[in-house]
Amino acid sequence: MVFGSDVTATDDASRPEPELAVLRKGFALVLTAREIEDELRSP
């Protein structure tokens, strides 16, 4: 799974980082929107 770290919305600013840490540790490749774009554009 690929998950965008800087393209999510929340109503609690303290929650995204701990949630992203769980995703990183468990099963996701957490990237910025730019990193995702770069990966999709690369041959």
pLDDT the model gives residue 2: 94
Domain boundaries of the chain, sorted by first residue = 2-41
The pTM of the full predicted model, rounded to 2 decimals, is: 0.78
CA distance 43 to 28: 22
Q: Tens-digit pLDDT profile for the chain (43 aa)?
A: 999 999 988 899 889 899 999 999 999 999 999 999 999 999 8
Query: Exposed, middle or buried, 12 (CB in 10 Å: 0-12/13-18/19+)?
Result: exposed
